[in-house]
Structures are given as structure tokens and as C-alpha cells.
């Protein structure tokens, strides 16, 4: 595994926007003084006339995007998840969600892998906030390939979409010929019969790693990548839960309101199944290198393996 390609999904975001600029003349990108960090500067360089820097004023940026959308533009607003979803929640709900405007929210620097900046900037609540808004699509891509596909798919669909990207470089795991991205469709990455591990974002790789370790112990884990938290691929989740009878969810997000909760919502109603939620346990993050934080919070392959073993006891 010496030369696994690693790319941060925020990088993929900027590249995808620049790629799509030619195909979609109505695409407009807005940022709030973070173009270098969110990577929208890549789009800005290619299409300066369709890039708007709003300054450090995320709420106004959100309203501007709403106004642009009423005039037929396809605006992307970009900031760190903490501000794009957190500070902005009510603007997103009332100015974008309620009128169901065609605005896309590109949120970078999500979760604890923000790293050294610490808790104020590590948003572990954005998926929970965004998925409560009626009509909002919520996507958490797992790598470069998925992130780029998600940006294009978001542009191609009508309506508001929240896209969650990370700061830290992550391995490319979806490089295969038959890879296909479809909003609302989960991806079965590994078939198994003893337990289902459902993961999103950077935790998909951890889930795959954990499944390898479990296999060495004779445990046959099924691994599902849920890149679209909303609408959730209920069919895939239910079929796998019914097959294995035990479900583990893994996400770089609070265990309150994110992927784990979305999975529990559907299982509780349609196929009651025991679930172990792995994520950030109702606490704030802290400063440190991204990889060290992932390890400390038990979101790496080893952490997922350990918790799954305990769960299966």
C-alpha cells in the first residue's frame, strides 16, 4: 500500500467546479473569504466573471445565492461546514429550503479532520442540521472520485443540495471501472453475512479496513457506503440489516442526528435491528493532527474493528 493516491475532497470540489464551469454556463460560485481553503479559487481562476467573493459574511452570501437562483443561476456557496451549515442554518432553511431554491452548499473542513484549528472549526453537527430541512439533499462523499461525481450530480439535479467535504487528504478508494454515482443510491462495497457496517465520508475506508481485520477473525462483514444521507437508500439498508441482523454505522460526525440516526430511523420503523453507532460521542473536538484525532476518536480501521468486535460479543 506504499503509493495509495491521496486527495482532500475539498480539492476535488474545486476541481469539479472548474470542470463543470464550461458545461453549465449558469453555474456561479460564491465564497466568503476562504477561496484558497475551500479550493473555489480553482473555479475563480478559470471563470472570474462567475465567481463572487462576499467577504466574511456567510449569511448574506446565502441570501445572495437565493436571489441568484430566483434569476436562473445555479449558485454554489462555499465555506467551512461550521459556517455553511452552522452559522447559516436559519438562512439555509428560510432563504433556500423553504422556497426550495436551486442553491448548492459546498461545505469544506467538516468534522474533526480539520485538525489543528480545534473545536471551534470542527463541525460534527452539520449533517444533523441539514437533514432536518424539508427537501434538502445531503451528500457526504468518501473520496476524490465520489466528490467530483457528487458535484456534477448536484448541478444536474434541481433543488437544494448540501455537500460535505474534508480538509485532510484521503485515499482514493473508488477507482474502478464499474463505479457509478447516483444520488440516493448506496454502494455495496463488500458482501458479508455476520454484520453490516454502514459508513460515510472518510469512514468508508475505515470500514473496509475493519472488515479485513474482522475477516482474519472469521467474521464476515458486509460494507456499505452511504454517500447520500438524505434521501437515504432505505432498500439497501433494510435488505442488508435483514440479512446480517446486526448493524454498525461509522461517521466523522456526532452520533446524534447524522448517518447513524438516519439508519436507526428507518430500521426502528421497518426492521428493528440492533445498531452500534460509531462517531463523535456528544462532545467537542480538539486540536491535533487529523490522523491522530481520527485514531483518538476511534474512527480509523482499528477503532471500528475494536468497537465492532465488542458489539458482536
Partner 1 sequence: MTNLELQKTANEVRKGIVTAVHSAKAGHPGGSLSAADMFTYLYFEEMNIDPADPRKEDRDRFVLSKGHTAPGLYSTLANRGYFPVEDLKTLRHLGSYLQGHPCMQETPGVDMSSGSLGQGISAAVGMAVAGKMDQKDYRVYTLLGDGEIQEGQVWEAAMFAGANKLDNLVVIVDNNGLQIDGKVEDVCSVYPIDKKFEAFNFHVINIDAHNFDEIRAAMKEAKETKGMPTAIIMKSVKGKGVSFMEDKAGWHGKAPNDEEYAIAMADLEKIGEELAKGGMA
With cell 472548474, the residue in question is 18
Q: In Å, how far from its chain's centre is CA 287?
A: 21
Are 261 and 237 in contact by the 8 Å Cβ rule? The answer is no
CB of 105 to partner 1, least distance (A): 15
Which grid coordinates are listed for 64? 445572495
Q: What is the DSSP letter of 143?
A: S
Q: What is the DSSP letter of 123?
A: B
CB of 81 to partner 1, least distance (A): 20
Piece of 64-72, 200-208, 276-284, 300-308 that binds partner 1 (CB under 8 A): 64-72
Return the number of the residue (25 or 289) whose C-beta is nearest partner 1. 25
Name which of residues 29 to 58 contact partner 1 (CB under 8 A).
49-50, 52, 54-55, 57
Q: What are phi and psi of 252, to 5 degrees?
A: -90, 70
Interface mask toward partner 1 for 66-105; x: CB under 8 A = xxxxxxxx-x--------------xx--xx--xxx-----
Are 90 and 192 in contact by the 8 Å Cβ rule? The answer is no
Return the number of the residue (62 or 261) whose C-beta is nearest partner 1. 62
CB of 75 to partner 1, least distance (A): 8
Beta-carbon contacts of residue 309 (< 8 Å; ≥ 6 apart): 214, 217, 219
Burial-class residue 34 by CB neighbours within 10 Å (0-12, 13-18, 19+).
Answer: buried
Name which of residues 11 to 30 contact partner 1 (CB under 8 A).
28
Return the number of the residue (27 or 153) whose C-beta is nearest partner 1. 27
Reply yes or no on whether 58 is catalytic. yes
Among 64, 241, 293, 299, binds partner 1 (CB under 8 A): 64
Sign of CA dihedral 239, 242, 246, 247: positive
Return the number of the residue (80 or 89) whose C-beta is nearest partner 1. 89
Q: How far apart are CA 167 and CA 11, in angstroms?
A: 8
With cell 436559519, the residue in question is 90
4 binds partner 1 (CB under 8 A): no
CB of 102 to partner 1, least distance (A): 12
**Which one, of 306, 285, 254, 252, lies nearest residue 117 by Cα?**
285
**Which one, of 202, 168, 211, lies nearest residue 302 by Cα?**
211
Catalytic: which of 58, 125, 234, 251?
Answer: 58
CB of 133 to partner 1, least distance (A): 14
Q: How many positions of this chain bind partner 1 (CB under 8 A)? A: 29
Q: Which residues contact partner 1 by CB under 8 A?
A: 28, 49-50, 52, 54-55, 57, 59-60, 62-73, 75, 90-91, 94-95, 98-100
Q: Which residues are identified as catalytic?
A: 58
Amino acid at each position: 500500500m506504499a503509493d495509495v493516491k491521496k486527495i482532500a475532497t475539498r480539492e476535488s470540489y474545486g476541481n469539479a467546479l472548474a470542470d463543470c464551469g464550461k458545461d453549465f454556463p449558469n453555474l456561479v460560485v460564491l465564497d466568503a473569504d476562504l477561496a484558497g481553503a475551500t479550493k473555489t479559487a480553482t473555479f475563480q481562476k478559470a471563470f472570474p466573471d462567475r465567481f463572487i467573493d462576499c467577504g466574511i459574511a456567510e449569511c448574506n452570501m446565502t441570501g445572495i445565492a437565493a436571489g441568484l437562483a430566483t434569476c436562473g443561476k445555479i449558485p454554489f456557496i462555499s465555506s467551512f461546514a461550521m459556517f455553511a451549515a452552522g452559522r447559516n442554518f436559519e438562512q439555509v432553511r428560510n432563504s433556500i429550503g423553504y422556497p426550495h431554491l436551486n442553491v448548492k452548499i459546498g461545505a469544506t473542513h467538516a468534522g474533526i479532520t480539520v485538525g489543528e484549528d480545534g473545536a471551534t472549526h470542527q463541525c460534527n453537527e452539520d449533517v444533523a442540521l441539514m437533514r432536518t430541512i424539508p427537501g434538502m439533499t445531503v451528500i457526504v462523499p468518501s473520496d476524490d472520485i465520489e466528490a467530483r461525481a457528487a458535484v456534477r450530480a448536484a448541478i444536474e439535479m434541481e433543488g437544494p443540495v448540501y455537500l460535505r467535504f474534508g480538509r485532510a487528504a484521503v485515499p482514493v478508494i473508488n477507482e474502478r471501472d464499474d463505479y457509478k454515482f447516483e444520488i440516493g443510491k448506496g454502494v455495496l462495497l463488500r458482501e458479508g453475512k455476520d454484520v453490516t457496517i454502514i459508513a460515510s465520508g472518510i469512514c468508508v475506508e475505515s470500514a473496509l479496513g475493519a472488515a479485513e481485520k474482522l475477516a482474519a477473525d472469521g467474521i464476515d462483514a458486509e460494507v456499505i457506503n452511504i454517500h447520500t444521507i438524505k434521501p437515504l437508500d432505505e432498500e439497501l439498508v433494510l435488505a442488508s440489516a435483514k440479512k446480517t441482523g446486526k448493524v454498525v454505522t461509522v461517521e466523522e460526525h456526532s452520533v446524534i442526528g447524522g448517518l447513524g440516526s438516519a439508519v436507526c430511523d428507518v430500521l426502528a420503523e421497518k426492521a428493528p435491528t440492533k445498531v452500534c453507532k460509531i462517531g463523535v460521542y456528544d462532545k467537542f473536538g480538539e486540536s491535533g493532527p487529523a490522523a491522530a484525532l481520527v485514531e483518538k476518536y476511534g474512527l480509523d480501521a482499528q477503532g471500528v474493528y475494536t468497537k465492532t468486535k465488542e458489539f458482536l460479543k
